[in-house]
Amino acid sequence: MPSASNSESFSSLRWALKNARNGFYLYTAAPPMQRRVADCFGGSGVAVYDYSRNNAPYSFANLAKWAMQQNADVFFVINMQIALRENNDMLNLNLSRDLLTEIDGIWVFGMTADADDRLVKTAVDFYSFIRLQMHFEDDDAEQDIGKLIVSDTPPGKYYGSYDEAKKQMDRYAAMCEGLLQLPLDAEPERLLSAAMTLGTSAELHGNYGNYDHAMELYSRIVEIREKVLGKEHPDTATAYNNIALVYAKQGDDNKALEWYHKALAISEKVLGKENLAFATIYNNIADIYSHQGNYPEALEWFHKALAISEKVLGKEHPDTATAYNNIALVYAKQGDDPKALEWYGKALAIREKALGKEHPDTAVTYGNIALVYTSQGGYPEALECHHKALAVFEKALGKEHPSTATMYSNIAFAYSHQGDHLKALEWYIKSYEALLKWGENHPNTSLIRNNMSIAHRNAGLDEPFEQWLKKNLGH
């Protein structure tokens, strides 16, 4: 059943497909939801063209050729945010709208909301052909946050408990306040030393979700390095990469890609394409495309990173394992579980041998394998892997760390899918309490709260959720 927030959109689209003979319809949704909407209406007479699998700019000729080969009355064209990358792509869609109407049938276009915003500004005439526009939120079901934040982005230095991390942030605060005021005409050595200190603090704030402050610090580092080292120095490229990482964590993919490519241009010029710095930037760019649902593009960039790691470091190095793990993540998001487990297995073999079974990176792989088992319905296997990961995170990072909170949530998610909603609530409470110590604005706090609310409803408890939550917090 669709969620309450989506019921009207589903009803509208269902009515249109039943009663219309032709015309253009458009809906906005996140990439996975676009596919779910198309699948919901699948069957005889319905064809789906998914740009995340074709990975090409918009072309009327290609789309028309595909449509002519289908025995269909309804054509879903989804993940158009991938096809509409440049203004020229949007103008091509705008100019081909008359030609598309000549292909008999109903056209349903799916794209993300930001792509729709850009299309509105660039291809206004296209919207005069749209008969109905809808928006779909993610389904009213618990969302698996593991695939969003248990990734292989290098974690940097962690301070396990909230108190320890807070002490470090406070210790740097007064020092950084003075360094931020240091004039750019100060001695070069002093400026570069300041940049190092600011970078340590920025990394700490970025790891714990204080993105605005991290951005302030990294921006100052960029100013210092551009001034002292110039815009074509490897350390300046590193600063650009760090700015991009923060934009990525804030969800601003376009800004992140802009800064990654600035870093890439410098690295290519001064280091050469087989330097490990390239592998890092390739990985980060791939992460953006994976987040956008553009999986072919993500795999292309991840394989570029893998080629460097295998050549420079060898096939048994922990950084090569990271590349294997990243490729597995993309396959998991695509729903290709056998491929995901194959690549996770490669990563796990290296990490257990090189790092040991109690290293956080090894635990990340345990957790990601568990998520694949969850998607397959293998809940006992999933819970076993999750608990392996949890034991490592609690020991290495502490019970209040965001990554530990993610493990709690993933265990809850597995119990919920097993139908044990009361057990799920026990683990969601652990996750929520850990994240609350980092503030209600932490990127995952509201998501965990939403998941708890759904599990509470599914458990059939009579006690109102807010009352239940207040009573159980701190227990």
Whichever domain contains 254, its CATH number is 1.25.40.10
61 inside domain? yes
Same domain for 130 and 186, yes or no, is no
Alpha-carbon distance values, 207 to 27, 99, 164 (Å): 35, 50, 14
| Phi-psi region at 316: left, alpha or beta (left = phi > 0; alpha = psi -120 to 50) | alpha
Environment class of residue 266 by beta-carbon count within 10 Å: exposed (0-12), middle (13-18) or buried (19+)? buried
463 inside domain? yes
pLDDT (tens digit per residue) in 379-422: 899 999 999 999 999 998 888 888 888 899 999 988 988 889 99
- Round to whole Å and give the CA distance between 46 and 261: 39
Alpha-carbon distance values, 404 to 184, 248, 441 (Å): 41, 21, 18
Give one DSSP letter per residue of 354-409, joined into a string: HT-TTSHHHHHHHHHHHHHHHHHT-HHHHHHHHHHHHHHHHHHT-TTSHHHHHHHH
* pLDDT, average across residues 150-156: 38
Same domain for 116 and 228, yes or no, is no
Same domain for 102 and 19, yes or no, is yes
276 inside domain? no
pLDDT (tens digit per residue) in 107-140: 999 998 878 878 887 887 788 788 888 888 765 5
Residue at a domain's end among 226, 244, 270: 270
- Round to whole Å and give the CA distance between 115 and 84: 7
- Round to whole Å and give the CA distance between 374 and 353: 26
Q: Residue 470: what pLDDT?
A: 92
Write the CATH number for 57: 3.40.50.300
**Terminal-to-terminal C-alpha distance of the chain:** 34
CB 424 within 8 Å of CB 455: yes
286 inside domain? no
457 inside domain? yes
Same domain for 14 and 127, yes or no, is yes
116 inside domain? yes
CB 332 within 8 Å of CB 340: yes
Residue at a domain's end among 135, 166, 197: 135
- Round to whole Å and give the CA distance between 467 and 272: 60
CB 365 within 8 Å of CB 325: yes
Same domain for 383 and 436, yes or no, is yes
Total number of domains in the chain = 3
Same domain for 121 and 217, yes or no, is no
> Cα–chain-centroid distance for residue 48?
24
- Tell me: pLDDT of 459 over 80: yes
Same domain for 112 and 195, yes or no, is no
Same domain for 376 and 447, yes or no, is yes
Same domain for 359 and 467, yes or no, is yes
Q: Residue 225: what pLDDT?
A: 94
- Round to whole Å and give the CA distance between 404 and 452: 17
- Tell me: pLDDT of 263 over 80: yes
Q: Which of 147-151, 217-221, 414-418 has the lowest mean pLDDT?
A: 147-151
pLDDT (tens digit per residue) in 366-386: 999 998 998 888 889 999 999
Instruction: Name the pLDDT band for 1 (thresholds 50, 70, 90).
Output: very low
* Angle, helix 318-334 to helix 360-376, in steps of 10 degrees: 20
Q: Specify the DSSP class assigned to residue 401.
A: S
Task: Locate 413 and state its tokens.
Answer: 């998610």
Q: Residue 17: what pLDDT?
A: 85
Residue at a domain's end among 237, 270, 303: 270
Same domain for 106 and 188, yes or no, is no
Range(s) of the domain holding residue 130: 4-135
> Cα–chain-centroid distance for residue 294?
11
CB 221 within 8 Å of CB 242: yes
Find where tokens 């701190």 sit.
474
pLDDT (tens digit per residue) in 282-309: 999 998 998 888 899 999 999 999 999 9
- Round to whole Å and give the CA distance between 254 and 247: 9
Same domain for 165 and 112, yes or no, is no
pLDDT (tens digit per residue) in 131-140: 888 888 765 5
Four-residue CA torsion sign, 390, 448, 136, 56: negative
56 inside domain? yes
DSSP count for the chain of H helices, then E strands = 24, 5
Q: Residue 4: what pLDDT?
A: 46
Task: Locate 137 and state its tokens.
Answer: 């939120």
360 inside domain? yes
Same domain for 167 and 210, yes or no, is no
Mean pLDDT of all residues in the chain? 85
Q: Residue 316: what pLDDT?
A: 93
**Percent of the chain topping pLDDT 70:** 92
